[in-house]
């Protein structure tokens, strides 16, 4: 019994990362930034607006939050649709009440299917980033490159037409990528994407089609991660956000501006028994003198403070 | 395959020879940050997949990288604040990838022990020679980068062979004589050190490294809320501290910078560390210092007690 000798060879065992996507850098070593108005903590509230197809293919895997029952899984289809009909309007009220500027990550398919919701978002004037075509149109390793290229192009082009926005942000469905996804995004005019969760601040992500910004959208603080995956209570969700806010604010005061990113789903936190937890969090965070802004505005504020190369 | 690994004998928790730690303390406390490197595209192991998704596994890889980019400094600052030196369970390739982290820990007098080379290279399927080479490579790296003679082992990603402990003990002797390869964190059968049988019969102990208090087990496997984790740490401490009246106990908190150093988990962790270190009768130490002290003062006594109780048990059985 033995493994192939390559199993004990370490081709990338050298300084920095084991790939060339981004440079190795510790957050605590980077220059301090300050948000507009002298604020220390930026609040990025990111709202995925999602369409989960009833005829889910699950290629190459079934996405969390998707269909789990034999076809037709009316239970999960309609529970997710609830977010776009009911939950989102609870969200919007809460955002307005507490003066929060949200960013919407929209499936292009949902924008096509739901003109009322699309217009509601457009009229508010909030930033929309592309969340891929829909929740069963995954980007994944081994995917045919031409198919993925078409998917990226269609998702972005159509969403730009529908929203009449430039759409420079991207969040992959399931936050899953192929090895080509970053190049395809850069080639299609994307400026920042939110799939990687290795930082609490923006950093430069290399692609052969020009660089992207990786924006730090925490998955650990995601409402579905905490309540659907970890099965924590609404109360525990709120406590975790408040503890995170306190901690990041303290670190921001010591080391320089930080971002509290809340990825929240209307089909999860928009339920009647959960919305109060979100309101509690927003009330608490907005009381802390934070910079509540869109993902693009936060990124602009960040890049404007970088020294010219 | 064996029905029992045979590393240790049954040894009831009651009526053991009494342990007192240096300074007469009744409890030893150590924190073991796992500082790990996971590869984005590791070679395939026949027994275990590194990532659930086809390459690139963006999510799993990047949250672990968060531990090094963001989390390490947070936990290190916290341990500094409470006068705790970490005992690092180290993916030793991190010496090459992120020597900045190694340097910071070295300056603080932290201990480095081997957790394999990468946490994406599993022991499963290795020949004896391959596993020996991997362990030796890891111990060599620690010595080369830190000057420390690696004393402890936690197999990479807790992937073992039947020979893992034997090989670690033997390579330790080969490299550093009696100073190298003296303790393991791979076994979870006890709250006190236990003499371990190895092929070479060298003095070798299991040091309690609690899987139950391990943040990744708590947060990822058991899906525990951060504040409850903080409470569990305090409860674990309270009981072991009380039992220390009878004989010295050990509490270990194994951590990961991609788990406990996330912003929503630091507060509860800090509260637990603050609570634990506010008690007087605690020896705040490292894994190696516990192993050294135990081997010097209690190892032979423990072996004799185990042998005597085992023999008495056999006589009763007859």
ipTM of this complex prediction, to 2 decimal places: 0.97
Task: Inspect the interface and report whether the beta carbons of A176 and B118 lie closer than 8 Å.
Answer: no
- Report pLDDT digits (tens) over B55-87: 999 999 999 999 999 999 999 999 999 999 999
Residue B184 burial class via C-beta count within 10 angstroms: exposed 0-12, middle 13-18, buried 19 and up: buried
Do the Cβ atoms of B99 and A195 come within 8 Å? Answer: no
Q: Do B97 and A24 touch (CB under 8 A)?
A: yes
pLDDT for residue B315: 66
Of A10, A14, A243, the CB nearest to B267: A243
Min Cα distance A13 → chain B (Å) is 6
What H or E segment, with its residue span, contains residue B30?
strand B27-35
What average pLDDT does range B129-137 have in this prediction?
Answer: 98
In degrees and rounded to multiples of 5, residue A46 shows phi and psi of -115, 120
* Residues A198/A38, Cβ–Cβ less than 8 Å: no
- Low-confidence residues of chain A: pLDDT under 50: none
Residues of A in contact with B102 (CB under 8 A): none
Q: Are strands A192-193 and A212-214 parallel, antiparallel or unpaired?
A: parallel
Give the closest of A16, A175, A231 to B58, CB-based: A175
Domain that holds residue B295: 25-317
Q: Which pLDDT band, with edges at 50, 70 and 90, does B317 fall under?
A: low
Distance from CA of A124 to the nearest CA of B (A): 31
Q: What is the DSSP string of B167-216?
A: HHHHHHHHHHGGGSS-EE----S-SS-EE---TT----EE----SSS-HH
Nearest CA in chain A to B42: A7
Residue B54 lies inside a defined structural domain of this protein: yes
Instruction: Give the pLDDT confidence of B158-200 residue by residue, as tens digits.
Output: 999 999 999 999 999 999 999 999 999 999 999 999 999 999 9
Residue B126 has pLDDT above 90, yes or no: yes
Above pLDDT 70, what percent of chain B?
A: 98
A62 phi, psi to nearest 5 deg:
-80, 130
Cβ proximity of A248 and A31 under 8 Å: no
CATH assignment of the domain containing B245: 3.20.20.370
What pLDDT score does A229 carry? 97
Flag if A61 and B264 touch (Cβ within 8 Å). Answer: no
**Do A27 and B268 make contact, defined as CB atoms within 8 angstroms?**
no
Domains of chain A: 30-303 (3.20.20.370)
End-to-end CA distance of chain B: 29
Question: Is residue B17 a part of any domain in this protein?
Answer: no
- How is residue A290 written in tokens? 């934070």
Total domains in chain B come to 1
Strands (E), A58-115: 102-106
CA dist B172 and B200 (Å) reads 11
Q: Provide, as residue numbers in chain A, all residues whose Cβ is less than 8 Å from the Cβ of B116.
A: none
* pLDDT above 70 coverage of chain A, percent: 99
Taking CB atoms and an 8 Å limit, are A140 and B54 in contact across chains? yes
Interface of A with B in 69-128 (CB under 8 A): none
The predicted structure's pLDDT at residue A1: 84
Label residues A159-172 b or e (16+ Cβ within 10 Å = b).
bbebbebebbbbbb
């Amino acid at each position: 019994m033995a493994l192939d000798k390559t199993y004990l060879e370490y081709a990338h065992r050298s300084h920095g990362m084991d790939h060339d996507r981004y440079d190795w850098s510790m957050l605590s070593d980077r220059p301090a930034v300050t948000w507009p108005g002298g604020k220390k903590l930026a609040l990025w509230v990111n709202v995925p607006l999602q369409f989960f197809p009833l005829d889910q293919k699950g290629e190459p895997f079934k996405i969390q939050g998707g269909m789990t029952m034999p076809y037709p899984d009316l239970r999960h289809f309609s529970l997710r649709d609830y977010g776009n009909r009911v939950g989102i309007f609870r969200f919007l009220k809460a955002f307005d009440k507490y003066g929060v500027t949200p960013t919407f990550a929209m499936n292009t398919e949902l924008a096509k299917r739901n003109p009322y919701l699309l217009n509601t978002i457009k009229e508010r004037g909030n930033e929309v980033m592309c969340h891929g075509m829909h929740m069963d149109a995954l980007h994944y390793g081994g995917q045919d490159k031409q198919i993925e290229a078409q998917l990226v192009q269609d998702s972005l082009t159509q969403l730009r037409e529908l929203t009449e926005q430039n759409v420079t942000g991207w969040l992959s469905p399931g936050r899953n990528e192929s090895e080509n996804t970053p190049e395809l995004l850069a080639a299609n005019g994307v400026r920042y994407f939110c799939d990687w969760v290795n930082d609490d601040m923006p950093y430069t992500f290399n692609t052969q089609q020009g660089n992207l910004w990786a924006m730090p959208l925490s998955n650990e603080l995601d409402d579905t991660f905490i309540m659907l995956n970890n099965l924590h209570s609404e109360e525990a969700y709120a406590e975790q956000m408040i503890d995170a806010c306190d901690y990041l604010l303290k670190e921001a005061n010591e080391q320089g501006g930080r971002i509290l990113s809340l990825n929240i789903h209307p089909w999860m936190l928009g339920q009647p028994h959960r919305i109060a937890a979100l309101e509690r969090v927003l009330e608490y965070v907005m009381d802390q003198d934070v910079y509540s802004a869109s993902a693009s505005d936060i990124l602009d504020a960040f890049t404007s403070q970088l020294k010219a190369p | 395959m064996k029905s029992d690994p045979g590393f240790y004998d049954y040894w009831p928790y009651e009526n053991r020879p009494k342990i007192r730690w240096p300074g007469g303390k009744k409890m030893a406390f150590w924190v073991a940050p796992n500082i790990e490197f996971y590869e984005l595209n590791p070679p395939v192991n026949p027994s275990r997949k590194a990532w659930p998704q086809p390459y690139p596994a963006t999510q799993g890889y990047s949250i672990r990288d968060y531990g090094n980019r963001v989390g390490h400094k947070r936990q290190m600052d916290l341990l500094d604040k409470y006068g705790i030196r970490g005992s690092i369970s180290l993916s030793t390739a991190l010496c090459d990838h992120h020597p900045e982290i190694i340097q910071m820990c070295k300056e603080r007098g932290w201990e480095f022990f081997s957790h394999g080379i990468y946490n994406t290279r599993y022991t499963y399927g290795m020949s004896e020679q391959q596993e020996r080479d991997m362990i030796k490579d890891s111990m060599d790296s620690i010595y080369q980068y830190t000057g420390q003679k690696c004393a402890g082992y936690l197999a990479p990603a807790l992937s073992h062979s039947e020979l893992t402990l034997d090989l670690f003990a033997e390579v330790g002797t080969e490299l550093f004589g009696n100073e190298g390869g003296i303790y393991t964190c791979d076994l979870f059968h006890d709250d006190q050190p236990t003499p371990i049988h190895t092929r070479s019969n060298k003095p070798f102990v299991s040091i309690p490294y609690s899987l139950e208090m391990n943040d990744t087990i708590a947060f990822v496997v058991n899906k525990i809320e951060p504040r409850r984790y903080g409470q569990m740490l305090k409860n674990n401490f309270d009981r072991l501290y009380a039992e220390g009246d009878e004989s010295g106990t050990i509490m270990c908190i194994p951590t990961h910078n991609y788990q406990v150093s996330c912003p929503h988990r630091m507060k509860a962790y800090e509260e637990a560390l603050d609570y634990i270190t506010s008690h007087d009768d605690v020896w705040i130490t490292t894994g190696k210092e516990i192993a050294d002290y135990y081997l010097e003062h209690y190892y032979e006594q423990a072996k004799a007690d185990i042998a005597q109780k085992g023999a008495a048990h056999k006589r009763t059985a007859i």
